Each structure stands twice: as structure tokens, then as C-alpha cells.
């Protein structure tokens, strides 16, 4: 057994090691702040860099990331399981920078809001009204009379457009009379106060979720293209939005920039756990959401956003179209990372490349359930296979049984997909050269973690066969599920993340070193575009990009050309 002294020395050594690691990665301007906060001495992982009464900027040593978080007392929302915080924070910064554009975006969604307000009024009064009723129109106009509610409405619409319709607690989210009870307005006021103070004090930029250190090449590469074009910095002109905020909020923010000795009244007081913790616990104890899945509500809302983009290299995945047609238009070259359809979509005009996703394995099966029908002839060789029986019977519980991507089954799927998209090259462990760039399509419908060795042997042998001797041509790897964690955008905090799904095949790294591989593209994990559609990462001694572009109404594709020019 170690003595207390040796344990203390060991802990001290780890603390110093973590601190040293933090200082080597952090820019000097931020590293110098580590000693300003005594709590950093007992925190080996999460280091405080800046804080005020309610929020703090934290540096996470293990993944070199920055994060703004509540210090614990302030409540974001009294609505149980309210998942819109990041959207509303983004909306707050957009309102501060571009209030006119925010107004236009909300007005564009008037038909959507009228439906939400109609349902909200019913939840409160049990009275049914139609979209054009005076009650709905009055509630709609009320949105623009309170900037802190307008910010929230923008956030809710961003969530609606990215993840699908909302259904729970609509009154608290859309009606001013109910919204004032949620505490969200006070949270927004204090959040804006903090981010303005932060960006005025440190060379930091934020879009409401992602943060980037200004002037650091390493951080810029790590955080590139995560919505930073619309981010708040010390150079931002915040006057347009600041002048529209309630006077008390405006003065509080101005005071955070230029300290004053005169106390100012503060409206929109935040909801604090220290004062209302017991009440909040009671509200949430027996809470029943009465929520409906977004897929079931989608048909009730029209899409008011454009379905067409002009990206030259349009990356998209996981469309999961349910009405037999693609909901987006791109007339250029599309890089389709699987799972476009759950309704036997056919499209004779779309051009580009396609890799096989797990939903494609079912969507290509014949529509008829009569297995004596000749439509099933191509599938008969797999009837007796356990994985095929389970796939047809209960797909969500059988993905882990799928064979690795060199199996004949995927050739049949490829044949069926090619019939539906005649101008698309379906790459089943094959390559195609377009405008001087080689795209390698690997068949990885799911991450086979329990058979990682077999999966990575397949990846290695396929790449060796496809890449052959041409080591210089720029090459991009495309698959539905990511190759492994090192080339994945799935965050470690996600429930789907498996820390064991790492690259454990040294020959794969050696191959990456030998060939001019620029990056990897994947889908599968349904990551929202707001969390970032690409990053730069280090693998095999080189900088590679990783792209994941999941379809939503506000993301009909990612322009890969923006990376190709870097």
C-alpha cells in the first residue's frame, strides 16, 4: 500500500503534468490565466480561464477544447428536458449582430409559428383556434415586442429546421404569458452579458456553441468552419442588437464592458437553483412530456427554406427521405455518404458518388413481402444467413451482425442503388476520379466494434487494392459509418461513442503516410450541423480533414470545395 506521502507526491506529479500539458497547448495569452484561479490547482482536467457570477470559460486538457458553461446556480429553463439551449445561445449572438436578418428569418417562418401558437393556446386554454384567429395573430405580434422572446423564437425555429418539429411544452416556448415563467429570458440576458465581457477581455470568438482562439493556427484548424463566420469577437459591432434589447439588459452589458460605480436596476432576473431548487425538483419529478416524434409531425409543417444549393462538391448524408423523392436539389457533383432513402427513392438527375449505408440494406429490398416473387431472386443466396434473417425481422437490433464490407450482399445492394440513381457512381469498395481528385468509397454501413480487427483488416486490404501504386493523386475516403474514432466527428460525450473503436492496425497508419490522402467523409451518427460539419485532425503524422454533413432543412449540403482550396 502506498503511503499518504507517496500518494500525495503522485497526485502532485499528475497535477503538474496536466498543468504543463495545458500550458504547452494553450496559447500564451490564455495559459497565463491558469494561475489566476486557485481551483485550477485541484482540477487536473477542466481549467478555469475566465468567469463571472453565473458563467465560466473552461479549458478541457484532454481534448484541448474550450467551453462556456453555467457555474451551477443559474437555470437555463424551468421547462423539463428543454434541449434548445445551444440553439438559443446561437440565436442570442445572431440577434446581437444581425437583428434585421433575425426578424426576416422569423417572418419567413410565419406559417410554422402560427401552427405552434395555435397549439400553444390550446394547451393553455383548452380552446381550439385556427391559424388566422385574433388570438394567434396577437401572440405572433407579441414575439416582436420583446427582444428576449424574439431570440428564443429564433432558437426554436433553428431547432425545428435542423432536428424536426417540436411538440412538448409549446406554450412555455412560444407564448409570452407562459414564457416569462421559464426563466429563459433571464438566462439569455446573463449569457449575453458574459460572452460580451469575455470577447472584450480575451481574443476569443464564439457563435453561441463553438469557441475559437483568435490568432492561434492550431485552434483555428481545430475549430474551423463551425459557424464562426457569424461569431462574436472583440471587433464585432454589437450596437444594432444592443440598442434593441431592454434598457436594463443593455445597461448591464455596457457596464460589463466599462465598469461603473453606479448600481443599475436589472430586469429579467435569472432563475436560480439556490432560490427555486425545491420548486424545480417538484415540477420535474412527475413530469410527462406528452411529446410526439418529429417524424410524425413533419407533414403538418411546410418547409419555408430553399431546397436547392449550388455547392460544387456537395457533401450530404442521412436524408432518410420518406415520401419517395429527395427533398434537396444540387445540380453539381454530390458526395452522398449513405442513407438517402427510407421510401425507395428514385432520382434520374442527381450526379456524383454514393456509398452504402445501413438503411440502404433495407431500402433496396423488394417492396413485396412474397419471397417467391422473382423480385427476390437476387437475395435468395442470403435467405439462410442468420444476419439476413435478423436484418429483415428486426434491423435495429441486428446491425452488429452485418458482415464486413467485402461481402457479396453489398454487391447486390450496389446493383439496386445504381438502378435508382443512374447518374451516380455507387462505390462499393471502389474509386472514382473527379476533377483530379480520387474518391474511394468504402462499404462500412455500421461500426463493427466487437469485430474491430476484422473490420480494419478489411479497410487495409481494400485500400491497398484500390489505391494501387498511384501515391500522389489527392485522395478522399468516403464511408457511411466512420472508419474509426481518429477520423470521426462523433464527440466522446455522445451515447453512441465507443472509446474502443480506435485504429489498432499499424499498417493502416503506414498506408496513410505513403499516400496523398486529404481527409475522410462519413455520416451515420446524425450529428446536427450546428455542432460543426468538419474539423482538422492529426493522424499518421499529417493533418487531415474529417467531414460529416447530415441533411436538415438548414443544411442541404456542405461545400467540400472550401476545404480543397486550403
Q: Is 87 in contact with 191 (CB distance < 8 Å)?
A: no
Residue 266 binned pLDDT confidence (cut-offs 50, 70, 90) = very low
For residues 64 and 261, which has the higher predicted lDDT (pLDDT)?
64
Q: What DSSP string describes 179-193?
A: HTTSSHHHHHHHHHH
Determine the longest span between alpha carbons in the chain, in angstroms: 85
- Cα gap 325→349, rounded to integer Å: 12
Q: What is the model's pTM?
A: 0.83
- Cα gap 415→413, rounded to integer Å: 5
pLDDT in tens, 280-303: 777 776 666 667 777 777 777 888
Q: Is 206 in contact with 231 (CB distance < 8 Å)?
A: yes
pLDDT score at 529? 83
Q: At what angle do helices 99-108 and 147-163 cross, to 10 degrees?
A: 60
- Cα gap 331→29, rounded to integer Å: 46
Q: Can you tell me which residue has the cell 443544411? A: 555
- Cα gap 117→124, rounded to integer Å: 11
pLDDT in tens, 140-178: 999 999 999 999 999 999 999 999 999 889 999 999 999
Here the cell at position 256 is 460589463
- Cα gap 286→291, rounded to integer Å: 15
Give the DSSP letter of residue 404.
P
Q: Can you tell me which residue has the cell 485550477? A: 40
pLDDT score at 297? 77
% of the chain surpassing 90 pLDDT: 64
CA nearest to 211, candidates 380, 438, 30: 30
Is residue 367 pLDDT above 90, yes or no? no
Interval 518-526 mean pLDDT: 96
- Cα gap 521→511, rounded to integer Å: 18
Neighbours of 283 (CB within 10 A): 13
CA nearest to 245, candidates 106, 150, 107: 150
CA nearest to 49, candidates 72, 70, 20, 29: 29
CA nearest to 202, candidates 419, 51, 423, 373: 51
Q: Can you tell me which residue has the cell 435467405? A: 383
- Cα gap 440→521, rounded to integer Å: 10
Alpha-carbon distances of 26 from 122, 330, 465, rounded to whole Å: 52, 41, 42
Here the cell at position 397 is 437490433
Amino acid at each position: 500500500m502506498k503511503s499518504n506521502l507517496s500518494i500525495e507526491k503522485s497526485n502532485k506529479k499528475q497535477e503538474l503534468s496536466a498543468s504543463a500539458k495545458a500550458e504547452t497547448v494553450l496559447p500564451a495569452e490564455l495559459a497565463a490565466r491558469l494561475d489566476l484561479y486557485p481551483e485550477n490547482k485541484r482540477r487536473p482536467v477542466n481549467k478555469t480561464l475566465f468567469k463571472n457570477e453565473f458563467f465560466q470559460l473552461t479549458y478541457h486538457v484532454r481534448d484541448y477544447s474550450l467551453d462556456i458553461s453555467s457555474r451551477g446556480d443559474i437555470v437555463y429553463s424551468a421547462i423539463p428536458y428543454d434541449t434548445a439551449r445551444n440553439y438559443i445561445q446561437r440565436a442570442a449572438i445572431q440577434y446581437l449582430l444581425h437583428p434585421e436578418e433575425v426578424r426576416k428569418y422569423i417572418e419567413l417562418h410565419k406559417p410554422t409559428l402560427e401552427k405552434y401558437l395555435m397549439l400553444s393556446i390550446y394547451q393553455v386554454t383548452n380552446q381550439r383556434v385556427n391559424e388566422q384567429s385574433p388570438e394567434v395573430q396577437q401572440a405572433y405580434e407579441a414575439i416582436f415586442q420583446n427582444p428576449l422572446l424574439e431570440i428564443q423564437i429564433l432558437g426554436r425555429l433553428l431547432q425545428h429546421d435542423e432536428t424536426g418539429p417540436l411538440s412538448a411544452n409549446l406554450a412555455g416556448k412560444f407564448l409570452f404569458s407562459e414564457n416569462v415563467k421559464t426563466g429563459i429570458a433571464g438566462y439569455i440576458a446573463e449569457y449575453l452579458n458574459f460572452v460580451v465581457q469575455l470577447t472584450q477581455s480575451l481574443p476569443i470568438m464564439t457563435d453561441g456553441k463553438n469557441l475559437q482562439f483568435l490568432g492561434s493556427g492550431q485552434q483555428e484548424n481545430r475549430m474551423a468552419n463551425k459557424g464562426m463566420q457569424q461569431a462574436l469577437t472583440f471587433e464585432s459591432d454589437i450596437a444594432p442588437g444592443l440598442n434593441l434589447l431592454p434598457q436594463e439588459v443593455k445597461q448591464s452589458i455596457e457596464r460589463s464592458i466599462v465598469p461603473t460605480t453606479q448600481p443599475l436596476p436589472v430586469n429579467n432576473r435569472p432563475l436560480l437553483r439556490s432560490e427555486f431548487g425545491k420548486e424545480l425538483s417538484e415540477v420535474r419529478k412527475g413530469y410527462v412530456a406528452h411529446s410526439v416524434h418529429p417524424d410524425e409531425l413533419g407533414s403538418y409543417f411546410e418547409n419555408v427554406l430553399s431546397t436547392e444549393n449550388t455547392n460544387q462538391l456537395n457533401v450530404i448524408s442521412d436524408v432518410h427521405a420518406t415520401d419517395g423523392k429527395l427533398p434537396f436539389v444540387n445540380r453539381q457533383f454530390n458526395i452522398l455518404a449513405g442513407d438517402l432513402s427510407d421510401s425507395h427513392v428514385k432520382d434520374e438527375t442527381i450526379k456524383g458518388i454514393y456509398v452504402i449505408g445501413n438503411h440502404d440494406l433495407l431500402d433496396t429490398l423488394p417492396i413485396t413481402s412474397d419471397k417467391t416473387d422473382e423480385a427476390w431472386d437476387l437475395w435468395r443466396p442470403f435467405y439462410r444467413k442468420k444476419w439476413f434473417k435478423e436484418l429483415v425481422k428486426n434491423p435495429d437490433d441486428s446491425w452488429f451482425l452485418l458482415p464486413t464490407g467485402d461481402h457479396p450482399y453489398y454487391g447486390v445492394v450496389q446493383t439496386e442503388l445504381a438502378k435508382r440513381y443512374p447518374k451516380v457512381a455507387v462505390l462499393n469498395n471502389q474509386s472514382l476520379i473527379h476533377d483530379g481528385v480520387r474518391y474511394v468509397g468504402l462499404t462500412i454501413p455500421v461500426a463493427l466494434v466487437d469485430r474491430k480487427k476484422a473490420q480494419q483488416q478489411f479497410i487495409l486490404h481494400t485500400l491497398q487494392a484500390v489505391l494501387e501504386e498511384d501515391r500522389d493523386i489527392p485522395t478522399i475516403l468516403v464511408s457511411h459509418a466512420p472508419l474509426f474514432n481518429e477520423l470521426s466527428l462523433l464527440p466522446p460525450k455522445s451515447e453512441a461513442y465507443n472509446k474502443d473503436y480506435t485504429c489498432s492496425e499499424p499498417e493502416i497508419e503506414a498506408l496513410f503516410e505513403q499516400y496523398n490522402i486529404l481527409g475522410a467523409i462519413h455520416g451515420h451518427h446524425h450529428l446536427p450541423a450546428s455542432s460543426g460539419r468538419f474539423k482538422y485532425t492529426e493522424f499518421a503524422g499529417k493533418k487531415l480533414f474529417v467531414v460529416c454533413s447530415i441533411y436538415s432543412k438548414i443544411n442541404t449540403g456542405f461545400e467540400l470545395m472550401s476545404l480543397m482550396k486550403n
